[in-house]
Amino acid sequence: MSHEDASNSEEPIQLEQMDANFKNVFSKVHGGENIKRCFTCGTCSVACPVFEVEPSYDPRKVIRMILLGMKDEVLKSKLIWMCSGCYSCQELCPRDVKITNIMAAARNLAVKEGYVPDGIRGSVEQLEKYGRLLEVSEFENNMRTKKDILELIETLPEINGILKNTGLTKLIKEGGKNE
Ligand code: SF4
Ligand code: SF4
């Protein structure tokens, strides 16, 4: 992402930059409904395999940032894109906060606000071009056949149909206005 990630900044957050209504807006977004239930027990952080290898990603911290109204810091942050979607936190949370869904809701909001990481933009462009994240040419298919692996079939029209009908390509292309 070309924009600055303020989530790990040591700079104090200015009160006037906080959005007190963000938690209310967020709790109305699909996936964010239970966010206000969090009582900061930390079970999600302990359960999270990403936190174990990358301490800057702490799901409890992301939830706290949302509840405190740190809208820009959350939506610009690379943290919300680090969740692997493993659901370990969601299964163990004593308050049914549905953290995995919250991370997805945060990413959806971020894209709507124009914060699209370069990697995500690149992936969508690859899908649009090849129908896959990687090009599979005749060469690769010949190699697969030689190794007795099924050839991959053409998926480009179907994938482009999905990208168009879901509005994903448009959203990603229009995204980045805030970068
Ligand atoms: S496990 Fe649930 S209640 Fe505990 S900090 Fe995480 S989200 Fe909050
Ligand atoms: S779903 Fe995301 S936040 Fe939850 S444990 Fe897995 S990686 Fe961590």
Residue extents of the structural domains in the chain: 15-112, 118-174
Of 48, 43, 35, the closest CA to residue 94 belongs to: 43
Q: Is 50 in the pocket of ligand 2 (CB under 6 A)?
A: yes
* Closest ligand to Cα 85: 2
| pLDDT mean across residues, the chain | 90
In the reported structure, the alpha carbon of residue 63 is separated from the centroid of ligand 1 by a whole-number distance in angstroms of: 8
Q: Residue 175 has what pLDDT? A: 65
Nearest CA to ligand 2 atom 4: 89
User: What does the pLDDT read at residue 5?
Assistant: 58
What is the pTM (predicted TM-score) of this model?
0.82
Place 1 in a pLDDT band, splitting at 50, 70 and 90: very low
Cβ(99) to ligand 2 under 6 A? Answer: yes
* Both tokens assigned to 135: 């090009």
Give φ, ψ of 30 to 5 degrees. -55, 125
Q: How far apart are alpha carbons 158 and 134 in whole angstroms?
A: 16
pLDDT at 2 > cutoff 50: no
Interatomic CA distance for residues 139 and 47, integer angstroms: 43
Q: Helices 156-166 and 118-130 sit at what angle, rounded to 10 degrees?
A: 130
CATH class of the region 15-112: mainly alpha
What backbone torsions phi and psi does residue 60 show, to the nearest 5 degrees?
A: -60, -40
The Å distance, Cα 71 to ligand 2 centre, comes to 20
The span from the CA of 107 to the CA of 125, in Å, is 18
